[in-house]
Each structure stands twice: as C-alpha cells, then as structure tokens.
Amino acid sequence: MVMRSSSNFGRAIEDIAGGLSRRELWLYLGWQDVRKHYRRSVIGPFWLTLSMGIMVLGIGILYSQIFRIDVQVYLPYMAVGIILWGLIGRLITDACTVFTQAGDALRQIKVPLSVYIFQFVWSQILTFAHNFVIYIIVAIVFAVPLGWDALLVFPGLVLIVLNGIFATMILGPVCARFRDVPMMIGSLMQLLFYMTPIVWHGEQLSKGLWLLMLNPFYHFIEIVRRPLMGQPSVLENWLVCGVITVVMGAVAVLFFARYRARIVYWS
C-alpha cells in the first residue's frame, strides 16, 4: 500500500511537471478558450470588460447612495472587489467542469492531465486581465492615491492563482465523479458573495467581526484590494493567505495523486 501510494505520488508530480513543460500548448488553448466565445464579434473579449464596467458603474452609483458613502471613495473600492471576485468565483465554479468538458479529448489525446488545469487557469487570468482595464480607468478618473505598496498586488495575485490551481486539482476530479457538486458549489459561491465585503465595507460590521475573519475570501481580496486602494497591507491577511496556500497545495497534490488515474473514466 505504501509503495502504491508512493508510485501514485510520483506519477502525479511527473504529470504536473509534464504539464508545465508543455506551456506553449496550454497558453495557446487558454487563449482560444477566451476567443471562441466572441467569434465574429467586433470588440471580441472586451465585451467582458464592457459588461462588467456597466455593472460596476451602476452598482457603484446606487450603493454609494444606499450606504451614504462618497462615490469617489466607494466606487474604486467596489470595482476592485467585483473584479477580484470575478476571478476567484470563476476559478472555483468553473473548475468543476474542467475535466467533464474535456472528456472527449481526455480519451483521445494523451497529454498530462495538468495541461487541462493550466489551460483553464490561464483562460481565467486572461479574462481577469481584460476586466482589470476597468480598475485602471476608475483609478485614473477618481485619482486613487497609489504608492509603492501597489507592487504587493503581484504576489497577492500569485497566491490567488496558486490556490485556483490547487482548487481545480481537487474540484475537477470531485465534480467529474459527483455531478451534483457543481450546482452545490455554485449556490455556495452566490451566498459567499454577499457574506464577503465586496459591495460593502468590513468596517460596517458592528458585530460578528470574527465571522469576517473566518472568511478566507475576505483575506485573499484584501491582499490585492488594499494596495490597489493606496492603503497599507495588513499582516494578518497575508499570514492567513500564506497558511491556506500551503495547506491547499499539500491537500491538492495528495488528492490529485490519489484519484488522477480515475479522472478519464469519470469524465
């Protein structure tokens, strides 16, 4: 049993390494995933940017009045939250269909399974990059006071992407095996959207602050949003995200090693 587990782990590591070595393949496929949804469209993937920009503007103006917050302060805050949640939400909900959508390719083409994971995550990064244009416009219009702390955006995004990869390594096989799980994940993410300070400020909670601290999405959003708002980072957010990343990485690799060989049959 120990030898078999060791063998599975070794093959999983080889699969991941093989997937990384074929980056030209998944970089191309990920870009095609984004493009194929907007074929023959004049502005192509920038429809993503336009639709989210309209939503950000509408919600920003409305909720700034509801919460009685200056729109110049509220709209940049909310815009970053919406854009980041778009990335995080898709990394989790769409991870559920990574292997089921690639079922035919899995059975016909022999490539490392991690190629499909990297392809999916790369397509989400590209979508995020298109949507990030909204923040750039908002930051210029509302003169967001950025400093050197803004560079912390990059390690923050790296942590989000890494956890997206780890989540896909877990949710991809689980959702291929149990087809009801994607619907459960979708419903849960809708609930968490309202429980996470995206369109509302964490400071607005007079009670139940401990519940906010237990929300991992809050910490991942804060390590990117605070630098983009010109605010100093909070060490606690980074520590929580670091611990989650280490734990998620260990669980994901072990899980992928255990069930990797069955994914083709489940898909």
What digits encode the pLDDT tens for the residues 130-141? 999 999 999 999
Structure confidence at residue 104 (pLDDT): 78
58 or 43: which carries more pLDDT confidence? 58
What digits encode the pLDDT tens for the residues 146-184? 888 999 999 999 999 999 999 999 999 999 999 999 999
pLDDT of residue 70 exceeding 50, the answer is: yes
Residues 6+ apart with CB under 8 A from 54: none
Structure confidence at residue 2 (pLDDT): 47
Structure confidence at residue 108 (pLDDT): 83
What digits encode the pLDDT tens for the residues 8-55? 888 889 999 999 999 999 999 999 888 877 666 666 667 778 888 998
pLDDT grade for 86, boundaries at 50, 70 and 90: very high
pLDDT of residue 253 exceeding 80, the answer is: yes
Structure confidence at residue 171 (pLDDT): 96
State the chain's mean pLDDT as an integer: 90
Structure confidence at residue 4 (pLDDT): 55
Distance (Å, whole) CA 158 – CA 163: 9
pLDDT of residue 247 exceeding 70, the answer is: yes
pLDDT grade for 219, boundaries at 50, 70 and 90: very high
